[in-house]
Amino acid sequence: MVDIVPLSSYPSYIDLLPSIQTCNITNLPENYFLKYYLYHALTWPQLSFVAVVRPKGGYKAGTSKAGAGDLSGNYPKVVGYVLAKMEEEPTDGMQHGHITSLSVMRTHRRLGIAERLMRMSQKAMAESHRANYVSLHVRMSNVAALRLYRDTLGFEVEKVESKYYADGEDAYAMHLNLQSMWMDWKAVEARDKENEKNDDAQDEGDAVGDLGKKDDAKDQEKMVKVKVGRGLGVGELVERNESQPSA
Amino acid sequence: MPQPLNPKDQSLFRQVVRNFELKQYKKGIKTADQVLRKNPKHGDTQAMKALIMSNLGQSEEAFALAKEALRNDMKSHITWHVYGLLYRQEKNYEEAIKAYRFALRLEPESGPIQRDLALLQMQMRDYHGYIQSRTAMLQARPGVRQNWTALAIAHHLSGDLAEAEKVLTTFEDTLKGTPPVSDMENSEAILYKNSIIAESGDLERALENLEKVGYRCTDVLAVMEMRADYLLRLDRKPEAEAAYVALLERNPENSIYYNGLIQAKGIAENDHKALKSLYDEWVEKNPRGDAARRIPLDFLEGEDFKQAVDVYLQRMLKKGVPSLFVNIKSLYEEPAKRDVVQALVEGYVSSNSAQANGSAESKENDFLASTYYFLAQHYNYLPSRNLPKAMENVEKAIELSPKSVEYQLTKARTWKHYGNTVKAAEEMENARLLDEKDRYINSKAAKYQLRNNENEKALDNMSKFTRNETVGGAMGDLHEMQCVWYLTEDGEAYLRQKKLALALKRLHAVYNIFDVWQEDQFDFHSFSLRKGMIRAYVDMARWEDRLREHPFYTRMAFSAVKAYLLLHDQPDLAYGPMPTANGAEGLDEDERKKALKKAKKEQQRLEKIEADKREARKAAAANAKSIDGEVKKEDSDPFGNTLVQTKDPLKEAMKFLTPLLDLSSQNIEAQILGFEVYSRRNKHALAVKCLSAAHAIDPSNPTLHLQILRFRKTLDTLSEPLDPKVAEVVTSEFEKLLPKSQKLEEFNEAFLSANKNSAAHVQAALSGRQLLNKDSKPQCEKDLLATLDSPDITVSEATTALELLSLWDSDKTSYVQKASQKWPESSAFKLD
């Protein structure tokens, strides 16, 4: 029985990183230092997810002081993961997410794990980072993955990147629009205003207008100013990755 | 005393600093030399030159020059700062901190020195110092949010939650208006503060705060998880229920959420009907999901279970889901469920094979193949093991689908369980050949080869997926990519072959990888503040503190300690594996010398080959570089011969053991190995501490039993009495484990008769008997042989018995013969 959990949430699942790295190097030719995984986990903690085998008899209480989901110190077997990020220097100027690596152990195929991992990551990209779309690369020979991305998840082939992989194989560059899952920032701002008003004039009761009820796309664009990687100085931390990112 | 520079040289010096900052290292050195030509004792310039040299990789020369710089100018913050930076590069953090402190004393206003000091204090977990540094940095630049957050982190990690919260609130109060939703730094800071409140235990306030600010945090899932958890722990059931429903709507594949929901709804654990209908609801909502179908099999019983598991199994088999067995095998904890599953699936075979035989309908064949595959795994699994049946089913599956990697893989596993590592490796290699582009099966094939001690073949397989142009070839790439599983397996294979040098080489490599992982956090002390993802950073810092609790470390360290114990007990092994004699006397001195000579020759031969290879490589590519452009040095000890020639193996063992005892003290194997090391080092108080700890974990552990006897013997035969203080501790602790009044033979025989059905326990008791009375040997041999009659004895237990016979200098012939009759398929029982 497999659970899909976030890599970093409340509580933290970060002690799974070495097992994620092992899952990757067991399954795929594109491998990374642990620091590159750390870099993902600490830069975009919302975007990566892990599939773990629930131990016989359930999890032991974790070693941190947090509540129900605390698996720290349990070290369940990792059978899949999605490692994801936001593109730091989008060439098209559009904020978007990217799947650095996705893998499910051969022993745990066809349980819907990859699909679930992808959906979780996509949603988080849209919510946390207002990603316009998510992109990934897939080997042209990888029929099963193609079927998942195109038929199940609705990705479209953007282009073919020739000799993308170290062994010379071509890749499909694929993407999927995520705007429909964006958070309604207008509503958040309306609530902000409401709160401010209440704070300013608490005795005036709950006088709230119908401020910002409708979403105005143009307005929204003006508001969107997400700080991206370079602005905050990723600098030397960007690790080289062995060959190419995979999907 | 520092020499003042003339204005021209002064400007040249400033240029050196600029060159360094812009990474124009060669230019920098040239300019520095220009200054030094006229002012050969100018400390600051020397220091800057040293810093540049160290960045160019000339660390030894850099260090020498930095020392000279310091001698020439003790009163300069630059010379001290550089000195600290060089120590930092060498990872000598204590000395680096000292140097930074001197520098800071000379230049208290220096931002860079203060920052470098703070980062190291954090890395070293000097929270007291870190709080001081962070306070100073905040005072220097109070307008920057990062500085507030950093101070809060310092207080938080040092355990002062109230102060941490206060710092964050103070900053929040300075904010004018609400920051925009897009301000992720703010969003994260809010959640960080909330998690501190929750950690302090005041969930009521944490929830109140979260309800107020959570709606504007962009990490939506985290807010939902926090809220659900707080509500449940505050016993606010209706709200908690809604919160867990919301989480499940996002992710129905997480058993933790279902548990939360059930608790919130107050459904009793034994109300199976209510539980089942809850899960059924979620199946309806997510027809494609697995969790809601699978979890009820855990609690359903009797006829309900049979019905549910029947539906589950048939559905998955029809879909041909290859992971069906791994997904249900945990049910076998309950033998009744195991039997139901077996009967059902055997039933599918008999009712379907009749149909399939008639028609060549491929759908039915697929179902049948999946079913045979399921049964093959079922009969491989220990709680339901029947290896002939496993083999029979896997052959049938392969017949129906000869190209299936999974089926072929299971055949290899069956051989493994038979104890035949040779056939297992061969068959796994066949599985690999069915899909040569798949790394998973490649990894498996390599692993099985290592289990069969075929190190070179395994590496050859691995090299099909490594970057072989890396320095050191495939093995170099496996090191560089931190392939912990392979290095550990490879090391363990060498350990089995008693090739201790290479075993230690690989296990040290894994040890070093853990050091790198610990070092990896350094950059994040500053990076994460810039990024503002504070919760993830704090979680990471705490995880790093228990990094070596990971099972990857534990397993590697167990093997490393065992290797050092072996080396300590048999120093000749430093030169390579020694032949063991089968028979009474062991090797005589002549034989030993001959064997030693042979081993040394072999060692030299291998070294020569490697040296030649190295020369050839050097000639071929004068500048072998790794991918990041850094020049990688050739390994000066590729075979671990330097490692194995240590003068003090037990001291080396301590390096591996200490984290085990600190972080995995509940692991009995750690305590058992702790005893072995401490007792050999004559640290009796620490040895008995390990015995007590092991006893608290499992008083009937067989190895522990033998250790207790051995320790009594040790105490009885001390060459000089213990220090009175130590003696007091040891005696009183040990009295609880084995009272002095207890007759040892009785103690041992009682253990034997209490555990006579377990081969491992019997082996321990027989070793105990041997220890107490050498003359019992014939009886011990007879009793050991008799353990083979037990239906429960495993191949690996029988292999351990062979080691015991070696230890007793006994003849192994009859044991090997009997074992090979019992397990004719196994490759473990052959006479040399």
Whether B159 is in a domain gets the answer yes
Over the stretch B536-592, which tens digit does the pLDDT of each residue have?
A: 999 999 999 999 999 999 999 999 999 999 999 999 999 988 776 544 455 677 888
pLDDT at B360: 55
- Residue B531 has its nearest CB partner, among A2, A42, A68, at A42
In which element (H, E) is residue B349 found?
helix B335-358
Range of the domain at B119: 7-192
Q: What is the mean pLDDT of residues B420-444?
A: 97
Q: How confident is the model at residue B231 (pLDDT cuts 50, 70, 90)?
A: very high
Cβ(A6)–Cβ(A49) below 8 Å: yes
Residue B784, SS3 per DSSP = helix
**CATH code of residue A149:** 3.40.630.30
pLDDT at B546: 96
Distance from CA of B464 to the nearest CA of A (A): 9
Residue A3, SS3 per DSSP = strand
Mean of the per-residue pLDDT values of chain B: 92
Contact residues for B724 (Cβ-Cβ < 8 A; gap 6+): none
Which residues of A fall within a CB distance of 8 Å from B222? 6, 9-10, 46
The residues facing A102 across adjacent strands are A82
For the residues of B383-417, what is the DSSP string, one character each?
Answer: GG--HHHHHHHHHHHHHH-TT-HHHHHHHHHHHHH
Least confident range of B19-28, B361-370, B676-685: B361-370
Most A CBs within 10 Å: which of B540, B547, B662, as the mutation test of the A interface? B540
**Which one is predicted more confidently, B596 or B244?**
B244
- Residue B216 has its nearest CB partner, among A28, A120, A192, at A192
- Of B164, B192, B220, the one marking the end of a domain is B192
**CATH code of residue B775:** 1.25.40
Over the stretch B337-381, which tens digit does the pLDDT of each residue have?
A: 999 999 999 999 988 776 655 455 677 888 999 999 999 999 999
- Residue A46 has its nearest CB partner, among B177, B219, B294, at B219
Over the stretch A60-102, which tens digit does the pLDDT of each residue have?
A: 887 766 666 788 889 999 999 999 999 999 988 899 999 999 9
CA distances from B165 to A28, B127, B189, B197 (A): 44, 17, 11, 7
Cβ(B77)–Cβ(B40) below 8 Å: no
Least confident range of B152-161, B474-483, B620-629: B620-629
Mean of the per-residue pLDDT values of chain A: 83
pLDDT at B744: 94
CB atoms within 10 A of CB A135: 18
For the residues of B490-549, what is the DSSP string, one character each?
Answer: HHHHHHHTT-HHHHHHHHHHHHHHHHHHHHHGGGHHHHHHHHT-HHHHHHHHHHHHTGGG
Separation between Cα atoms, residue A5 and residue B251, nearest integer Å: 9
Nearest residue to A104 via CA among B290, B371, B513 = B290
pLDDT at B590: 82
| DSSP type of residue B329 | G
Phi, psi of A133, rounded to the nearest 5 degrees = -155, 170
Separation between Cα atoms, residue B461 and residue B434, nearest integer Å: 14
In which element (H, E) is residue A104 found?
strand A96-104
Separation between Cα atoms, residue B500 and residue B430, nearest integer Å: 31
pLDDT at A171: 96
pLDDT at B621: 58
A225/B220 touch (CB, cutoff 8 Å), yes or no: no
- Of B138, B162, B192, the one marking the end of a domain is B192
- For chain A, the distance separating the N- and C-terminal CA atoms, rounded to the nearest angstrom, is 24
- Of B142, B174, B192, the one marking the end of a domain is B192
**CATH code of residue B55:** 1.25.40.1040
Whether A223 is in a domain gets the answer no
B528/A9 touch (CB, cutoff 8 Å), yes or no: no
Domain total of chain B: 2
Residue carrying structure tokens 């000097």:
B126
Q: How confident is the model at residue B820 (pLDDT cuts 50, 70, 90)?
A: very high
Whether B492 is in a domain gets the answer no
Whether A241 is in a domain gets the answer no
Domain total of chain A: 1
Q: What is the mean pLDDT of residues B156-170?
A: 97
Whether A205 is in a domain gets the answer no
A10/B195 touch (CB, cutoff 8 Å), yes or no: yes
Whether B469 is in a domain gets the answer no
B320/A108 touch (CB, cutoff 8 Å), yes or no: no
Over the stretch A105-158, which tens digit does the pLDDT of each residue have?
A: 999 999 999 999 999 999 999 999 999 999 999 999 999 999 999 999 999 999
Most B CBs within 10 Å: which of A25, A211, A225, as the mutation test of the B interface? A25
For every residue of B559-606, which 3-state class applies, written as one string? Answer: HHHHHHHHHHHCHHHHHCCCCCCCCCCCCCHHHHHHHHHHHHHHHHHH
Q: Determine the residue of chain B that is closest to A56 in CA distance.
A: B330
Q: How confident is the model at residue B1 (pLDDT cuts 50, 70, 90)?
A: low
Separation between Cα atoms, residue B567 and residue B651, nearest integer Å: 12
B481/A25 touch (CB, cutoff 8 Å), yes or no: yes
Most A CBs within 10 Å: which of B225, B230, B627, as the mutation test of the A interface? B225
Nearest residue to B422 via CA among B453, B465, B396, B384 = B453
CA distances from A89 to A82, A86, A98, A121, B302 (A): 21, 9, 12, 20, 59
Separation between Cα atoms, residue A157 and residue A153, nearest integer Å: 12
A68/B232 touch (CB, cutoff 8 Å), yes or no: yes
B253/A2 touch (CB, cutoff 8 Å), yes or no: yes
Q: How confident is the model at residue A213 (pLDDT cuts 50, 70, 90)?
A: very low
Over the stretch B726-783, which tens digit does the pLDDT of each residue have?
A: 999 999 999 999 999 999 999 999 999 999 999 999 999 999 999 999 999 999 999 9
Whether A192 is in a domain gets the answer no
pLDDT at B629: 45
Most A CBs within 10 Å: which of B326, B338, B374, as the mutation test of the A interface? B326
CA distances from A55 to A78, B62, B260, B330 (A): 11, 52, 18, 8
Is pLDDT above 60 for A212? no
CB atoms within 10 A of CB A242: 22
Least confident range of A182-186, B409-413, B444-448: A182-186
Contact residues for B803 (Cβ-Cβ < 8 A; gap 6+): none
User: Model ipTM?
Assistant: 0.93
Q: Exposure string (b/e) for B537-562, b if CB count within 10 Å is 16 or more?
A: bbbbbbbbebbbbbebbbbbbbbbbb
Range of the domain at A55: 2-185
Q: How confident is the model at residue A36 (pLDDT cuts 50, 70, 90)?
A: very high
Over the stretch B603-614, which tens digit does the pLDDT of each residue have?
A: 888 778 877 777
Q: Determine the residue of chain A that is closest to B187 in CA distance.
A: A128
The percentage of chain A sitting over the pLDDT mark of 70, rounded to a whole number, equals 79
pLDDT at B622: 52
Distance from CA of B821 to the nearest CA of A (A): 34
Q: Exposure string (b/e) for B436-468, b if CB count within 10 Å is 16 or more?
A: eebbbbbbbbbbbbbbbbbbebbbebbbbbbbe
Separation between Cα atoms, residue B754 and residue B444, nearest integer Å: 40
pLDDT at A241: 40
Contact residues for B450 (Cβ-Cβ < 8 A; gap 6+): B458, B486, B489, B490, B492, B493
Separation between Cα atoms, residue B46 and residue B65, nearest integer Å: 6
Q: Exposure string (b/e) for B220-245, b if CB count within 10 Å is 16 or more?
A: bbbbbbbbbbbbbbeebeebbbebbb
B323/A111 touch (CB, cutoff 8 Å), yes or no: yes
Is pLDDT above 80 for A225? no
For the residues of B435-453, what is the DSSP string, one character each?
Answer: -TT-HHHHHHHHHHHHHTT
Amino acid at B387: L
- Residue B216 has its nearest CB partner, among A188, A223, A233, at A188
Separation between Cα atoms, residue B727 and residue B715, nearest integer Å: 10
Q: Could you give the residue ranges of the DSSP H alpha helices within B200-295?
A: 203-213, 220-233, 237-250, 255-265, 272-285, 291-294
Q: What is the mean pLDDT of residues B678-686?
A: 96
pLDDT at A232: 34
**Residue count (chain B):** 832
pLDDT at B5: 87
pTM of the model: 0.91
CA A98 to chain centre: 8
A223/B182 touch (CB, cutoff 8 Å), yes or no: yes
Cβ(B774)–Cβ(B755) below 8 Å: no
Q: Determine the residue of chain B that is closest to A66 in CA distance.
A: B199
Cβ(A140)–Cβ(A55) below 8 Å: no
- Structure tokens that stand for A115 in this block: 């699909």
Over the stretch B700-728, which tens digit does the pLDDT of each residue have?
A: 999 999 999 999 999 999 888 889 999 99
Which residues of A fall within a CB distance of 8 Å from B178? 192, 195-196
Whether A71 is in a domain gets the answer yes
Over the stretch B116-137, which tens digit does the pLDDT of each residue have?
A: 999 999 999 999 999 999 999 9
Distance from CA of B405 to the nearest CA of A (A): 10
Is pLDDT above 70 for B269? yes
Q: Determine the residue of chain B that is closest to A233 in CA distance.
A: B530
A72/B260 touch (CB, cutoff 8 Å), yes or no: no
